[in-house]
Chain A
Amino acid sequence: MKATFSMHHNERSLELELILAVCFLALVALIFLVLTFYKRSKKLAKVKRATHYQNIVDDLVFKILFGEQDLAECLTIYTTYENKKLFNKTLIKSLVSLHKSYVGEPKNRIEKFYEVSGLYQFSMKKLKSKSWVNQVEAIRDLSKLNYTKAFAEISALTISKREEIKKEAIIGSVLLNGISELEKFKNEELYFDDWMQSNFLYSLKIKQWEIFELKETLFQSKNESFLLLVARIIELYQLHIYYDVLAQMMQNCQKTKTKNDLKNIISRLK
């Protein structure tokens, strides 16, 4: 009798637990549903704002690039939106993209606008942010838009403990202070992996520098990954004068990967 009662009692409590669980799951489902629609509405609103800003930015950068109006008028347009984060982000993105596509006067006008408008402060603020992603983005924007006054701050980040920041800061400081800056890092223990090297070479390519020689001290690095980067820079600028140096470098390297990569570079440089 007792056992039967206990069984019935268990069943009832189990059913009750199931009912509670169903209610709980329904509530969680509802929360996810509401959050999803909330996110969607926020996203659509953002897309709408972004499209609106992009139109203004397109118009503005055209004026900056081709000097339809003097800089003061461009600044007046910018001042209306300068406190809008999304507008600043959109504008910087457009400026960076155009900066790499132009040379000469239009390029200078972009750089001048970035500085005079105070837009650089948006990037400088990000550079000091606690988020490493923001810092990396800021280094990239400041160096690509050639804001040389940020060199000291960026250079200071080359000793960051966070590898992503450190690598980006090395690239950034070279972009802002010239290829000779690379020498500072020849004794770095950091592994310059292929991904970082591709970013480095890409940034150099965009910079459109004319380089005819490199400091020979660069070849004395004990860091094989650094030497490989130097070799790739030699290849990028087709510096045939260093052909023998590369051959020597290949002989001295210990790692098979570095040796193979150097061998390929030498054969392509031939």
Chain B
Amino acid sequence: MTGNSNIDFGIEIFNYFILFFAISVMASYVVLAMISAYGLKKYLKQNRYVNYDSLLVLQDAPKVSLLAPAYNEGRTIEENVKSLLGIKYNNFEVIVINDGSKDNSIEVLVKAFDLVVSNAVYKAEIPTKNVRAIYKSTNPVYSNLVVIDKENGGKADALNTGINFATNPYVVCIDVDCIMDKDVLLKLAKPFLEYSDKRIIATGGVVRIANSCEIKSGKLVRVFAPENYLARIQVLEYLRAFILGRMAWSHMDGLLLISGAFGMFDREIVIAAGGYNPKTVGEDMELVVRMRRYMIETKQEYRIQYIPDPLCWTEAPESFQILRKQRSRWTRGTIETLWIHRKMLFNPKYKILGMLSFPYWFLYEFLAPLVEATGLLITFLFAYLGILKWSFFIWLLLFVYSFAVMFSFMALYAEESTFKRYQTYTDLFKLVGVAFIEPIYFHPFTVYAALRGNYEKLKGSHGWGEMTRKGFAKTS
């Protein structure tokens, strides 16, 4: 204490504010986790006896176009496309959109799949960059493959090109380098077949980390905890986000995000809503928000279905440099979506979206890192001035730390009670181990990356930044 009652009062207010904010974040996490647990239990019960193969006999299964944008993927594209063509489903086509790659992607594809230029007509219902050529295969084995070569315009523009070209009523947007579960389309399509008085406009599922997993011929064979610490921590992070977070939002019908790595959409609604926005780097979240907004504003009953099964496996960044770029981009994407749709914030017209989801994202996704950083700065200032109450500060840190560890353990328990993808004690020990270091090793870095994201946004940066991937070690 300084002895100056005004300053002391200010310090006390500051302490209480930080404490209250921390508690509110934690409380929201716990509430979401409880709702998720209920939703997960219900989902697993309802799907315990489901035989997805039965969908294969239905000639009228929803017709799906799988859209895979590719940029400089020449090294892995052949195997990735083969893996996509091998997905178990009846009515689907694969549309690979080469987004003006500077490498030999097109040459590789032409050679591997016997492609020739087709005279198919491209109609741009959503404006996109120019299409150079559309390729189809002369080999009947690849009759459901289309390759579109276009000028570079970014991922959103490439996906819009695919959406324009697709003739099927449903589009599945994926990252070409992700590993898909063989049943992915069967699981994504099921909700569209079940009776509902509401139109299902999108389904999405869980994305998991594939680093160090055993991959054979483009298929995931065995799951292991990543060897790299950074990737291993992201396993925990994804478990917390997907199992304990998104499931709850879905259960409350407040889901704002279907991961860009893969999601299935009603093409008609995507086009009516205007397609992906190429001006934002958070195009996946922005599209979902815009589609929902469109449905509410045109007074149509609708639903977004979330499938908690791990269906898509992606490579997580293993270096701080790449991770920083990814997280800064996510922050910019969040800011852009929140800004574009600011009208929804606390607007009862948008029901749970306006009154809960949007405020939550604003407070705990956008503002939280800023509050955290400000809190730290003021704490450093207090320490410098010699007015920091060290015992309070240390206990507050321990409080936050113990919550973070507890929440990670909760996520691990949820995984162990549900999907159990990590099968050995070694993997479990590895994940438990990183739960202890995550709050001090990883979390501060994500706060820093979020701040950089804010700074980049203020500076007017629009780029994605290079996302170099190591590539999966594939055994064929």
Q: Which residues of A contact B (CB under 8 A)?
A: 3-4, 7-8, 10-11, 14-15, 18-19, 21-22, 25-26, 28-29, 32-33, 35-37, 39-40, 43-44, 133, 136-137, 140, 164, 191, 193-195, 197-199, 201-203, 205, 232, 235-236, 261, 264-265, 268
Contacts and interface: CB of A to CB of B under 8 A. Distances in A.
* Most chain B CB inside 10 Å of its own CB: which residue of A14, A194, A197: A194
Interface stretch (B111-119, B281-289, B396-404): B396-404
B126 to A, nearest CB: 25
B412 A32 contact: yes
Given A39-B417, A40-B416, 9 more contacts: A15-B395, A22-B395, A25-B405, A29-B402, A195-B194, A199-B54, A201-B54, A202-B54, A232-B60
Contacts of B406: 25-26, 28-29, 32
Nearest to B409: A32
B48 interface: yes
B197 to A, nearest CB: 10
Contacts of A136: 49
B425 A40 contact: yes
Interface in B176-198: 190, 193-195
B204 to A, nearest CB: 19
B17 interface: no
A15 B48 CA distance: 48
B220 interface: no
Interface string B424-447: 010010001000000000000000
Q: Across chains A and B, which 5 residue pairs bring their CB atoms closest together, nearest first?
A: A202-B54, A29-B406, A194-B193, A32-B409, A25-B402
B14 interface: no
A198 B416 contact: no
Given A18-B396, A22-B395, A193-B195, A199 B51 contact: yes
Contacts of B58: 194, 197-198, 201, 232
Contacts of B402: 22, 25-26, 29
A197 B190 CA distance: 12
Given A15-B391, A25-B403, A39-B413, A198 B57 contact: yes
Contacts of B49: 133, 136-137, 140
A22 B409 contact: no
Contact of B193 (A44, A195, A264): A195
B404 to A, nearest CB: 9
B20 to A, nearest CB: 11
Nearest to A228: B60
A15 B392 CA distance: 6
B326 to A, nearest CB: 28
Interface of B: 1, 5, 8-9, 12, 15, 19, 45-46, 48-49, 51, 53-61, 190, 193-195, 389, 391-392, 395-396, 398-399, 402-403, 405-406, 409-410, 412-413, 416-417, 420, 425, 428, 432
A188 to B, nearest CB: 14
Contacts of B51: 199, 202
Contacts of A36: 409, 412-413, 416, 428, 432
B199 to A, nearest CB: 12
Nearest to A137: B49
23 contacts: A11-B392, A18-B392, A21-B399, A22-B399, A22-B402, A25-B402, A32-B409, A33-B412, A36-B416, A39-B413, A40-B425, A40-B428, A43-B416, A133-B46, A137-B49, A140-B49, A194-B58, A194-B61, A198-B58, A198-B61, A202-B53, A261-B60, A264-B60
Contacts, number: 119
Nearest to B26: A25
A29 B405 contact: yes
Contact of B59 (A14, A137, A203, A235): A235
Nearest to B48: A133
A252 to B, nearest CB: 19
Nearest to B415: A36
Residue of B9, B12, B402 with most chain A CB atoms under a 10 A cut-off:
B402
A164 B406 CA distance: 38
B57 A35 contact: no
B193 A268 contact: no
A193 B192 CA distance: 10
A59 to B, nearest CB: 26
Nearest to A201: B57
A2 B194 CA distance: 68
A203 to B, nearest CB: 8
A261 B91 CA distance: 14
Contacts of B193: 193-195, 198
B399 A32 contact: no
A268 B9 CA distance: 80
Contacts of B410: 32
Given A28-B406, A264-B59, A198 B395 contact: no
Contacts of A10: 12
A264 B90 CA distance: 15
Contacts of B389: 11
A7 B194 contact: no
B221 to A, nearest CB: 17
A169 to B, nearest CB: 13
B35 to A, nearest CB: 18
Contacts of A164: 46
A164 B19 CA distance: 48
A43 B417 CA distance: 10
Contacts of A7: 1, 8-9, 12
A22 B398 contact: yes
B439 to A, nearest CB: 12
A137 B392 CA distance: 57
Nearest to A199: B54
Interface centre among A29, A35, A43, A164 (most CB of B within 10 A): A29
A22 B45 CA distance: 35
A3 B1 CA distance: 13
B188 to A, nearest CB: 13
A195 B58 CA distance: 9
Contacts of B54: 198-199, 201-203
A201 B378 CA distance: 67
B60 A194 contact: yes
